[in-house]
Amino acid sequence: MGTLASLSITSQAHLLAAALLAAAAVAGLWLRRLGAPLSVRLLLAGGLGLWVLAAGGLTWMIGRSAQVLVMVDLSASTRTAGYRDPQALRQRLGQLLGDRPYQILYFADEQQISPQAQAIENLSPGRTVFRPPTAEAIVLLSDGQFALPAFSPPVYAVMDPRLKEARDSAITLLERRAQQLVAGVRHQGEGPQGVTLSAQPGPTTQRWVEAGQQVVSMDLPPQARRGGARVSGSDPWPENDALALALPPPQMAGRWWVGGQAPPGWIGLEQVPAELAEYLTTSIIVLENVPASALTAPQQRRLAHYVRNLGGALVILGGQRAYAAGDYGGSVLELLSPLSSHPPMPAMQWIVLLDASGSMAAPAGPISRWELQAQALQRLLPHLPAKDSLSVGGFSQELRWWTQGRSVGQALGQRLPPAEQRPGGPTNLEAALAATIAQVEGDAPKQLLLVSDTEAQIDDPESLARGLKRKQIRLHVLAIGQGKAGVLLKNLAEGSGGAFMQSLEPRGWTESLRQLARGAMGDRLMRRTVTAQLARELSWPGGLSIDLWNRVWLKETALLLGRVDEPDGAPLMGRWQLGQGVVLAAAFGPPRDLALALADSVARPPRDPRFAVSVRAQSQVRIGVEAVDAGAYMNGLKLELELRGDDEARTHALQQSGPGQYEIVLPAGRTPQVGVLRLGQRVIDQVVLPGRYPAEFERIGIDEQALHQLALRSSGAVVWPWQKQPLKLRVRQGRMGLMPLLAAAGGLLIGAGLIRWRYC
């Protein structure tokens, strides 16, 4: 590092005054002709000269050249920068810094990496975050697409011509306006750019745009549920080349009838949609005699989201494929319904015995038979009545219980089988059954589910049969092999009132075990004719005769709307508030007029006409609400927006910006979201917001204005491509005042001159 030194006068006025006084003193001595020797005159003259310099504030200036830090932006928006070529970077720094030493720091999204740690091509690019460290001067190579720091050392912003000439095409906007799909396009290249607009289901349309910002559109068919826009070809930034949007159905069109013949004016569906956007304007959904197996897990989750979070209304109608007959236990439908498929109090004892012999360690595809058997158990338990008692164990040489006497709901929190349990040893099935029979107590019906490969010896089946009968145990056998004990087990199961089922394909064990459990619970589809007594609020005259109905139980917080007209009659209909929505359930198939009346009693309009909602979704989401009631502005409302994706939900308050005007501005999300606007607990509207690409790709090219501002704010400079001369960087200076030293030296010289004059 070079060192610079120089002398300077801090006060020329004081210097001039001292020089005049010194000249006057010399003139006075000369006029008096004192005849001093030459040595005396020289000493006096030297002392006066030093005093003159001291009076002028002579200072010794010491300076060092600035410590230079070169910061190189490797964020995604700088992919075409010329400085990304190491040779070009060295050449440019050689022009600007000469032989001045410097340190390079590469930066991107929250990263700052020196070249000794990692090469340029290995630094993961992200959004630009410029956080200048301590330095005396910074040479910056960047596109300026970042938030300017509050404080910074002097920054010399180097303009890169390849960034200035960036060629990028992007979809900047995608939204639905009435029955049109509208896309905003930014084209920075030369010549026309193709843009593809598409609807699913529906057509695909090609549009052409010239350089600049333009808007293109296409008509949407009524059945379209997704829309998209994409620029043709390729450029260095494919992240911003496309946007997709989920399209809600037409407003006020949502009255869905699923599972049966839809009434006039309703939309008949074989299955509920899995797309969340489909539910946004649906005022009522009716499931008529729909089994749980007819709905996939995503479809059931969407139904729950529609009711709980979007404030939707759901009606569940019974029949031969609903409730226990439709295997609702353990499903989302069971959670949604105010009528339970299982009794609220313990009704049965369940005992599950799994084969833990060595044969279960054999492979069955990518995993072992033991692991597949464990999966079948884990998928069975949620379908058993949560309040019933449960014991689960495994048998090989001996019987080991993994849980005993707990409720099914409590056992769901356990790992069954335990992690340390491994298959091994012989199949001592007869001893395991005998021990189970001996240990079981209680008066409740007992259901014993046995899974075995039947490779066992049973010497005394009569004793086992007597024990099963004495303890009132019904044996249900799932034979997963063709062992010699199969026939005896079949006789034991059927003799106890249970069932025998053989499943040699491991992938079918789960369904076979659940089928045995359903049979063990009994037929809860009642086929005797009863009269249903309905609540007065349903406006249904007299009683209703039904000859097929589901045995169900009313949940604790539900409102009873109908029951069997008998003492202690079973419930037949209930309703409850669930989250923001409402669910009504009937445990029978009502006449069509009654079914429509039930739907009308809970249906709710999807939007409040007093509120007009506007949405603008680009790099920021701007949602506005105009609230007017009968021509009068509605002020002081506490409006909230809940943004919900698949994984999380966040609630934000809207701020009043004018009479009856409310607004909120938020950063765009990365994934599509559903926005729910609420006034208190009431849902007033729902909107679909598309997922947005990262803000790094919103603008491509160099931001000269930002770099100018940064250089000006930090007392640096902008370096243009044509500048080849080394930068004139400020130097760090230190100073030392010489006045005390000069004054003392001058006094010594004058004193020495006077002494010599006196004694010469």
**pLDDT tens, residue by residue, 633-656:** 999 999 999 887 655 678 899 999
Q: 291 pLDDT band (50/70/90 cuts)? A: very high
The CA distance from 47 to 22, in Å, is 10
Beta strands in 396-445 (DSSP E): 399-407
Q: Tell me the CATH number at 209.
A: 2.60.40
**Residues 754 and 724 placed together within one structural domain of the fold:** no
| Same-domain pairing of 60 and 71 | no
- What pLDDT is attached to residue 25? 72
Residues 357 and 471 in one domain: yes
Q: Are 584 and 594 in contact (CB under 8 A)?
A: no
661 Cα distance to chain centroid:
30
Q: Exposed, middle or buried by CB within 10 Å (0-12, 13-18, 19+), for 285?
A: buried
CA angle 443, 334, 323 (to 5 degrees): 70
Counted domains in the chain: 6
Range with lowest mean pLDDT among 221-225, 336-340, 605-609: 605-609
- Per-residue pLDDT reduced to its tens digit, 47-105: 777 777 777 676 665 555 557 889 888 888 888 888 888 888 889 998 888 888 888 88
Percentage of residues in the chain with pLDDT exceeding 90?
34
Examine residue 543 and state whether it is found in any structural domain, yes or no. no
Residues 292 and 319 in one domain: yes
- Distance, in Å, from the CA atom of 432 to the CA atom of 426, rounded to the nearest integer, reads 12
Total residues found in the chain within this entry: 760
**For residues 448 and 353, is the Cβ–Cβ distance under 8 A?**
yes
Mean pLDDT, residues 471-498 taken together: 93
Residue 718, token pair as written in the block: 């902008």
pLDDT at position 29: 65
**Is the four-CA dihedral 236, 239, 244, 245 of positive or negative sign?**
negative
Residues 6+ apart with CB under 8 A from 6: 60, 61
Whether 530 maps to a domain, the answer reads no
Q: What is the pLDDT of residue 63?
A: 53
Say yes or no to pLDDT of 340 above 60. Answer: yes
| pTM greater than 0.85 (yes/no) | no
158 and 216 fall within a common domain: no
> Is residue 223 domain-resident?
yes
Q: What is the rounded distance in angstroms from the CA atom of residue 586 to the CA atom of residue 561? A: 9
**Residue 365 pLDDT greater than 50, yes or no:** yes
Residue 708 three-state SS: helix
- Alpha helix (H) ranges present in 33-145? 38-55, 86-97
pLDDT for position 732: 53
Q: Which of 315-324, 538-547, 552-561, 662-671 has the lowest mean pLDDT?
A: 538-547
* Tokens (6 digits) for 692: 């947005």
Environment class of residue 31 by beta-carbon count within 10 Å: exposed (0-12), middle (13-18) or buried (19+)? exposed
Same domain, 384 and 324: no
Are 441 and 512 contained in the same domain?
yes
Q: Residues 152-200: pLDDT tens digits?
A: 888 999 999 888 888 889 988 888 776 788 998 999 888 888 999 998 8
Residue at 542 is within a domain: no
Q: Name the percent of the chain in helix, strand, coil, to the closest 5.
A: 30, 35, 40
**pLDDT over threshold 50, residue 252:** no
Q: Are residues 378 and 515 in the same domain?
A: yes
Give me the amino acid identity at 494.
E
The answer as to whether 217 is a domain residue is yes
Q: Give backbone dihedrals phi and psi of 700, rounded to 5 degrees, phi first.
A: -120, 135
Domain-located, residue 535 = no
Angle ∠(302,307,313) on CA atoms, nearest 5: 120
Decide if 150 contacts 209 (C-beta within 8 A). no
Residues 178 and 286 grouped into a single domain? no
pLDDT of residue 117: 40
Domain boundary among 187, 216, 245: 245
Residue type present at position 58: L
Distance (Å, whole) CA 173 – CA 197? 12
Helix (H) or strand (E) holding 521: helix 509-521
pLDDT digits (tens, 9 = 90+) for 431-443: 999 999 999 988 8
Beta carbons of 189 and 209 less than 8 angstroms apart? no
Residue 352: how many CA atoms within 13 Å on its side-chain side?
25
pLDDT at residue 202 tops 90: no
105 or 736, greater pLDDT: 105
528 falls within a domain:
no
Q: Which of 370, 312, 306, 362 is nearest to 332 (CA)?
A: 306
Question: What contacts 29, CB < 8 A, 6 or more positions away?
Answer: 36, 44
Contact 450, 477 (CB under 8 A): yes
HSE-CB for 268 with a 13 A CA cutoff: 7
Co-location of 176 and 155 in the same domain: no
Q: Are residues 369 and 515 in the same domain?
A: yes
Residue 293 included in any domain = yes
Q: What is the dihedral of CA 353, 355, 356, 359, to 10 degrees?
A: 180
38-55 and 739-759 are packed helices; what angle lies between their axes, rounded to 10 degrees?
Answer: 160
Same domain, 298 and 385: no
Distance CA 363, CA 355 (A): 15
The enclosing domain of 425 has a CATH number of 3.40.50.410
DSSP character string of 85-150: SHHHHHHHHHHHHTT--EEEEEE-SS-EE-TTTS-GGGSPP-S------S-SEEEEES---SPPPS
The CATH number linked to 676 is 2.60.40.10
Domain boundaries, position 635: 611-695
Both tokens of 739, joined, read 């006045």
Tokens of 322: 């609903």
